[in-house]
Amino acid sequence: MTGHGEARLELTRRELLGVLGAAAAAGAVRAESPQAQQPAILPLTSTSDVFVPPRGRAFHKFSFSFPEPSVEFGGLRFAFIVFTRENAYSLDPTAMALDSAENRLTLRATRLMWAGGQESSPGSLTATFRRTADGAVEWDVVAEMGQPIKSVTTVLRGVPRGRISAGGGAPADQRDNEALFGYPFGAGDLFGGNSAAGLGTPLMVVEAGERDFFHLSSLDDKVRAKRFFFQPGEHGYRVEAVHEVEGWLNQQRVVVPTWRAGRAESLEAPVAAHYQHLERAYRLVPFEQRTDSQPWLADIGLVLAIHGMHFTGYIFNDYARTLEILRWSAERFPAARTLVFLPAWDGRYYWDYPTYRAPARLGGEDGFRRLVREGQALGFHFLPMFGMNTANKQLPSHRRYADAEADRIDHNEFNLDWVDWDNDRHQEGYIAYLNLGVDSWRRWLTARIADVIERYGVDGYFLDISGGWVNGTRGDMHEGTRRLVAELRQRYPRVLAVGEFQYDALLELFPLFHVYSARAAKYVRCFSHLSHAAPGRGSSGVHEYGFGRFNAETLGLSAGPIPTITVVDDTFSAHRDSMEEILRRARERR
């Protein structure tokens, strides 16, 4: 503080905060208004109505009572926090005004606070609430500051305790644990401490009772990070609904996409309503109506995932052996209904990314060309694998797209450093995670995929870690993905684009995925993951998982995904009987 007037203003604020704290148990401070009955400003803090200390698993939090002056609307209590790239700001209750009308409420704050309410800052926030015809509450938020805003959080109270459904999945009992969920790909914090569980779409549902489901969702029509933090108390959850702005934009004014909360009598009701929104936002249509698929895809009844070369250089199947397997399979299941998925066809898995050439040890250029040509003559469709966002930093080509190395919104590097490829019990750090929103990487990967299409005549391309969206400062990963797929589709309209796993907006871009989702089944087809246990010992092939458990009764088959056989080194030689039985069951599905 530099002057007596400013010091006196600060003292007044501190005095008021003390009054607000003392008033918390007794009532609320009414907003100034000429109307007699106005909503109240509730004197809540970050420690109101939650377990202090936590009773179960917990996440990082302030070690003091951070001010959360709140308003009540539609049976919920709302507070707001504005985050810049350097601090957290709450609303100043001395500068908050409320304007209410039937089924509507507007909150305006013309000043913010930092240091837990000990200091003030220029800035503003306006929140507009409304009740919808079905009884739900929707609200919009606009925040402004004199510096770039990183995220805006709505804090909700009045959320019931109960089992939590993430993205429409099966509800799970979190007990007294705190729970954090992030959209998409954990909102960029999928790995490491204080990390979030991943969400495929920004929808959360709490099963409060037999016919009582609380739902909370974002009605965004763009891929932008969302987080949901559930902090339990004796009678309910304190929930943080976080909207993170685009990291590549420095915005001093942020318009938060509409949030929606309400109650329903079933889990399916809010899920169905949310997917109706997704269909409008991302132009989703039923699989049968897609125009970006291939005629043969609808008839695919079997996927042969034939693994090539492990990271270490160990070969599971070379091109000649792969062709032998296909000839055998064609005698037992229609080749025209079989998709041949080829992970690590291009050399050492993840080490040789992103060169994408047929290595001599697997049979070389001629061997791969012969595999595709003779396999297609039998009727098979070929799908080689590419890394959508990964590259070995040690390869000479890396300098050509090094500017696309991914970071997160706070400029911290984001590498693919969560796998122990060589089993030295240390996670390798040589793989860069790359951003398709940057021209250099998108041009490189597009050119490599185009080269493989033209050189070998394959029927599709598979993009690994397709759902791995990260909010960085260098470009929009989703927009980059859309542009890559659109360019390749324009150039090669008969070639199928396939993704590994999805978030909601990706359902528009890929007709086929490799991780099954019952919610997505209306729009896309799926087959089993490349780590799907192979017959026999359950090898995951080139995937780092190692060994799973192959179920000799179910044969790894389930109702949703296309029947898939993981073919590793001993599958064809030692477990052909299991392959035979899977082919027989696949035929029966017709």
Using one digit for the tens of pLDDT, what is the confidence trace for 485-498?
Answer: 999 999 999 999 99
Residue 488 lies in a domain: yes
**pLDDT tens digits for 313-365?**
999 999 999 999 999 999 999 999 999 999 999 999 999 999 999 999 999 99
Residue 399 lies in a domain: no
Domain count, the chain: 2
Structure tokens that stand for 561 in this block? 């995904």
Residue length, the chain? 590
User: Are 341 and 366 in the same domain?
Assistant: yes
pLDDT tens sequence for the chain (590 residues):
333 333 323 334 444 445 344 334 334 444 444 444 568 899 999 999 999 999 999 999 999 999 999 999 999 999 999 999 999 999 999 999 999 999 999 999 999 999 999 999 999 999 999 999 999 999 999 999 999 999 999 999 999 999 999 999 999 999 999 999 999 999 988 777 779 999 999 999 999 999 999 999 999 999 999 999 999 999 999 999 999 999 999 999 999 999 999 999 999 999 999 999 999 999 999 999 999 999 999 999 999 999 999 999 999 999 999 999 999 999 999 999 999 999 999 999 999 999 999 999 999 999 999 999 999 999 999 999 999 999 999 999 999 999 999 999 999 999 999 999 999 999 999 999 999 999 999 999 999 999 999 999 999 999 999 999 999 999 999 999 999 999 999 999 999 999 999 999 999 999 999 999 999 999 999 999 999 999 999 999 999 999 999 999 999 999 999 999 999 999 999 999 999 999 999 999 97
Residue 417 lies in a domain: no
Answer whether the bond into residue 184 is a cis peptide, omega within 30°: yes
**pLDDT tens digits for 107-145?**
999 999 999 999 999 999 999 999 999 999 999 999 999
Identify the domain containing residue 120 by its residue range. 4-282
Taking the C-alpha atoms of residue 59 and residue 238, their distance in angstroms, rounded to an integer, is 13
- Local structure of 136: helix, strand or coil: coil
Write the CB contacts of 223 (distance below 8 Å, at least 6 apart in sequence): 184, 469, 476, 477, 478, 503, 505
CB 297 within 8 A of CB 525: yes
User: Are 312 and 443 in the same domain?
Assistant: yes
Residue 565 lies in a domain: yes
The backbone torsions φ and ψ at residue 81, rounded to the nearest 5 degrees and listed phi first, read -130, 135
CB 385 within 8 A of CB 343: yes
User: Are 314 and 257 in the same domain?
Assistant: no
Write the CB contacts of 425 (distance below 8 Å, at least 6 apart in sequence): none
User: Are 472 and 379 in the same domain?
Assistant: yes
User: Are 234 and 300 in the same domain?
Assistant: no
Write the CB contacts of 339 (distance below 8 Å, at least 6 apart in sequence): 300, 302, 303, 304, 380, 381, 383, 460, 527, 562
Q: Give me the DSSP letters along 140-190.
A: EEEEE-SS-EEEEEEEEEEEPPSEEEETT---B--TT--EEEEETGGGG--
User: Are 306 and 276 in the same domain?
Assistant: no
Among 248, 282, 316, give the residue marking a domain's end. Answer: 282
Question: Considering the entire predicted model, what is its pTM?
Answer: 0.92
Taking the C-alpha atoms of residue 109 and residue 141, their distance in angstroms, rounded to an integer, is 11
3-state secondary structure 388-455: CCEEECCCHHHHHCHHHECECCCCCECECCCCCCCCCCCCCCCEEEECCCCHHHHHHHHHHHHHHHHH
Residue 405 lies in a domain: no
CB 124 within 8 A of CB 136: no
User: Are 180 and 302 in the same domain?
Assistant: no
User: Are 195 and 305 in the same domain?
Assistant: no
Taking the C-alpha atoms of residue 285 and residue 281, their distance in angstroms, rounded to an integer, is 11
Helix (H) or strand (E) holding 444: helix 439-456
Among 255, 282, 309, give the residue marking a domain's end. Answer: 282
Taking the C-alpha atoms of residue 181 and residue 204, their distance in angstroms, rounded to an integer, is 9
Helix (H) or strand (E) holding 91: strand 88-91
- Which parts of 294-363 fold into alpha helices (H)? 319-330
Q: Taking the CB of residue 405, how many other CB atoms lie within 10 A of it? A: 20
Residue 522 lies in a domain: yes
CB 69 within 8 A of CB 93: yes
Structure tokens that stand for 282 in this block? 């991302």
User: Are 228 and 347 in the same domain?
Assistant: no
CB 159 within 8 A of CB 236: yes
User: Are 332 and 359 in the same domain?
Assistant: yes
- CA nearest 241: which of 46, 55, 78? 78
Residue 433 lies in a domain: no
CB 412 within 8 A of CB 490: no
User: Are 61 and 24 in the same domain?
Assistant: yes
- Local structure of 519: helix, strand or coil: coil
Looking at residue 318, which CATH number applies to its domain? 3.20.20.80
The backbone torsions φ and ψ at residue 199, rounded to the nearest 5 degrees and listed phi first, read -125, 140
Write the CB contacts of 332 (distance below 8 Å, at least 6 apart in sequence): 580, 583, 584
Looking at residue 243, which CATH number applies to its domain? 2.60.40
Taking the C-alpha atoms of residue 543 and residue 539, their distance in angstroms, rounded to an integer, is 9
Among 282, 306, 333, give the residue marking a domain's end. Answer: 282
CB 575 within 8 A of CB 535: yes
Taking the C-alpha atoms of residue 12 and residue 368, their distance in angstroms, rounded to an integer, is 77
Residue 127 lies in a domain: yes
Taking the C-alpha atoms of residue 389 and residue 559, their distance in angstroms, rounded to an integer, is 31
User: Are 261 and 299 in the same domain?
Assistant: no
